[in-house]
Amino acid sequence: MKYDIIFVGGGQASVFGAYEAINKNPNLKIMVIDKGQMLDKRICPKEKLGKCVKCPTCAIIYGVSGAGAYSDSKFNMDYRVGGDVHTITSKSLVNETIQYVSDIYKNFGFDDEPTGLVYNEEMELIKRRCIENDIQLVDTPTMHLGTDGSRELYSKLIDTLLKKGVEFSSNSDFKDLIIEDGKVKGAVIETKEGKKTFYSDNIITALGRSGAKQMMKMCQTHGIGYSAGSVDIGVRVEIPDVVMKTINKNFYEAKMVFYTKKYNDKMRTFCSNPSGFIAVEKHSDNIMLANGHAYKNKKSTNTNLALLCTKSFTEPFNQPFEYAASIAKMSTMLTGGKVLCQSYGDLKAGRRSTEERMSRLNIEPTTDDYVAGDISLACPKRILDNIMEFIEVHDKVTPGFASNDLLLYFPEIKFRSTRMTIDSNMETTVKGLYSAGDSSGYGSGLNIAAVMGILAVRDILKKIK
Ligand SMILES: Cc1cc2nc3c(=O)[nH]c(=O)nc-3n(C[C@H](O)[C@H](O)[C@H](O)COP(=O)(O)OP(=O)(O)OC[C@H]3O[C@@H](n4cnc5c(N)ncnc54)[C@H](O)[C@@H]3O)c2cc1C
């Protein structure tokens, strides 16, 4: 079967790309392939059972509408957050396209005023404390849909795509590309019924973080241009809302970047969820990762956020993905398939956390999918030193942050260590093959994934007019 455009991976980049394509040219034959279920069938058993049962295909990260369907859906309205595709396009194009995407959100009924636009005295104080402590505050306006709101948005979007004739092949594991004479020709998938090939001269791969490793292997097998990128390793921390009150109220999320004094490594806060919940995701059979989200209508009394260390490596090492995966495997082995949790007080005291000691704190974990233990057994010293230094400096901006009550869940890892070689239209070194979103190595957030999907489609539309 031949299509005008095939999207491989049905996440944020693809659904917004498909929306752009079918709106601009309603006659196009479009296929979206995804390993997981259609959105209405994506149900995480944890919602009912209260704990992760390790499904063969995790509904949180796999399935149509991608990782965004279970995300807190903070939509950052600035090129500086969510990736760095502006380095191959331009800042103004990325910002214009982000605005274009946010207008699509509005068309589907989400027109909440973004937070972080106008500074008041409390925000000025936070900014001043950041300046005093060598922290860069990346203060971009943010729309917040919440996990419930984002599901509603995607439901409406997918319904619209289906009504307009976009085809979806769910439960379809992408296995290979067909490339002839430097041009893409098709994508091979595997379903319960066996292998099948969909043909097209225009294929956009957007496999997300969950597919980053597979994308790297595909590059190696077919000689598609790529380079080894960096990897983000760290912890998800959880702290009572009262400590984060000023930041939460005024910024919703304050994105901070800090270069540690000890190693000059980059640390950053990421994906803060006021009154949110810890999410534990099964990345693969022996890798469990910490994450977090927040609902618009269901609240906890804790804020969670990631503290991530960006690690790039120098020659001859070129396997950042394997490095990060090995760390995650070690922690998953230590916990028998959960994530590690340790209070900051225990970490500083050099002892493991226990349930008994954790029960003396002012905080209740918002998940059961952890084992109280010692993260220093699994986290490399340099990364742990960086995390602890960042916690201490964060405390100067947010007094109480470096308290014994801070819970650290390990590991949180952002696997996007392959950086594909793409041009300003998202086209790879293979003609007709495009790469968008997290698996391209240029994206790490919803805003940039959607932008990349749309920019790739716009280039294809020029060719097939
Ligand atoms: C819990 C959580 C919270 C988050 N919160 C935020 C937030 O608040 N704000 C923000 O900007 N970002 C957030 N993110 C990140 C954001 O969701 C991603 O950056 C974004 O979804 C990337 O879009 P994408 O299209 O590149 O990939 P994804 O949306 O991840 O989609 C990739 C798709 O590829 C499919 N796939 C993978 N492998 C295969 C295969 N072999 N065959 C077929 N299909 C395959 C998957 O099923 C998936 O649907 C969060 C992520 C998580 C997990």
Q: 21-25, 111-115, 147-151, 165-169: lowest mean pLDDT where?
A: 111-115
* Residue 16 and residue 40 share a domain: yes
Residue 311 pLDDT: 86
In a domain? residue 306 = yes
Measured distance CA(7)–CA(204) in Å, rounded: 5
Measured distance CA(214)–CA(301) in Å, rounded: 38
Residue 186 pLDDT: 98
Which residues 6+ apart lie within 8 Å of 198 measured at CB? 1, 3, 6, 31, 33, 169, 186, 187, 189
Q: What is the pLDDT of residues 322-334, one digit of tens each?
A: 899 999 999 999 9
Atom of ligand 1 nearest to the CA of 437: 26
Atom of ligand 1 nearest to the CA of 144: 8
Share of the chain above pLDDT 90, in %: 76
Residue 417 pLDDT: 63
Measured distance CA(6)–CA(267) in Å, rounded: 37
Instruction: Check whether 433 has a pLDDT greater than 80.
Output: yes
Q: 71-80, 181-190, 320-329, 385-394: lowest mean pLDDT where?
A: 71-80
* Residue 380 and residue 256 share a domain: yes
Show the ligand 1 pocket: residues with CB < 6 angstroms. 9-14, 33-36, 61-63, 66-68, 70-74, 76, 82, 173-174, 206-211, 214, 271, 279, 291, 293, 437-439, 443-447, 449
* Residue 216 and residue 258 share a domain: no
Atom of ligand 1 nearest to the CA of 447: 11
Band (231; pLDDT cuts 50, 70, 90): confident
Measured distance CA(254)–CA(391) in Å, rounded: 14
Instruction: Check whether 259 has a pLDDT greater than 90.
Output: yes
* Residue 357 and residue 218 share a domain: no
In a domain? residue 130 = no
In a domain? residue 199 = yes
Full residue range of the structural domain in which residue 440 is found: 2-110+145-228+419-464
3-state SS assignment for residue 312? coil
In a domain? residue 117 = no
Band (320; pLDDT cuts 50, 70, 90): confident
User: Which residue's alpha carbon is at the smallest distance from atom 49 of ligand 1?
Assistant: 66
* Residue 393 and residue 310 share a domain: yes
Instruction: Check whether 411 has a pLDDT greater than 70.
Output: yes
* Residue 218 and residue 173 share a domain: yes
Task: Please state the rounded mean pLDDT for residues 54-73.
Answer: 84
Residue 296 pLDDT: 78
**Structurally, how many domains does the chain consist of?**
2
* Residue 317 and residue 218 share a domain: no
Band (459; pLDDT cuts 50, 70, 90): very high
The full DSSP string for 233-291 is EEEEEEEEHHHHHHHHHHHSS-EEEEE-TTT--EEEEEEEETT-EEEEEEEETTEEEEE
* Residue 301 and residue 175 share a domain: no
In a domain? residue 122 = no
Residue 182 is part of a domain; what is its CATH number? 3.50.50.60
In a domain? residue 136 = no
Residue in 438, 439, 444, 457 to alter for ligand 1 test, most ligand atoms within 8 A of Cβ: 438
* Residue 359 and residue 311 share a domain: yes
Instruction: Check whether 45 has a pLDDT greater than 90.
Output: no
Instruction: Check whether 57 has a pLDDT greater than 90.
Output: no
Band (68; pLDDT cuts 50, 70, 90): confident
